[in-house]
Amino acid sequence: MDLRRLRSGELLVAVGAAGLAVVLFLDWFGGRSGWSTLTIGRLLIVATIALALTLVVMTLSARAVSMATSAATITVGVGCLTFVYLLYRVGINEPGPNALVSVDLGAYLGVGLLVVILAGAWRSLRDERTGSAISLRQTERVLAVRGATRPAPPARDPARETTTRDG
């Protein structure tokens, strides 16, 4: 594992996933943790955390770039679904001031850390860094396996072409 492979996007994803895993067990609603109050949301949050960590591990383990890109794409998709759910649960379906249950700081931290994961995954999709030494070595390795390039086809002589279509 080479820690130099982690770029700013993957670092954001790692920090967001670790933070969200901790915040999930803080008070979210009425003094109860997010783990105990969110039934469907708990599954979405755990899936988002797992996918975010998969992105970081794929990048660190020097797998093919397509593996990390696939993990980032799936993380963005599931993260967006989780964000919509949490936005509804924390922002729209929020208990009122006269309700017995209130929204605690952990819920807002959870939404914020989910946004950090989404921003990091999106950034890792945008950041290709084709000029880095690691990218150049990977490209050279792929080209070495492929072999030599084929020569270009010969140029066409326009004087030899006949354009008779009707006979």
pTM: 0.76
- How crowded is residue 30: how many other Cβ atoms within 10 Å of its Cβ? 13
Q: How many CB atoms lie within 10 A of CB 96?
A: 7
Render each residue's pLDDT in the chain as its tens digit; 167 residues.
Answer: 777 778 889 999 999 999 999 999 999 998 889 999 898 999 999 999 999 999 999 988 866 777 888 999 999 999 999 999 999 999 888 765 656 778 899 999 999 999 999 999 999 988 766 666 666 776 677 667 666 667 778 887 777 766 655 55
Q: How far apart are CA 114 and CA 108, in angstroms?
A: 10
Query: Do residues 20 and 117 touch, judged by C-beta distance below 8 A?
Result: yes
Q: Give the burial string for 115-140 (b: 16+ CB within 10 Å, else e).
A: ebbbbbbbbbbeeeeeeeeeeeeeee
Phi, psi (5° rounding) for residue 86? Answer: -70, -35
pLDDT digits (tens, 9 = 90+) for 90-111: 988 876 565 677 889 999 999 9
Q: How far apart are CA 78 and CA 111, in angstroms?
A: 14
56-83 pLDDT tens trace: 999 888 667 778 889 999 999 999 999 9
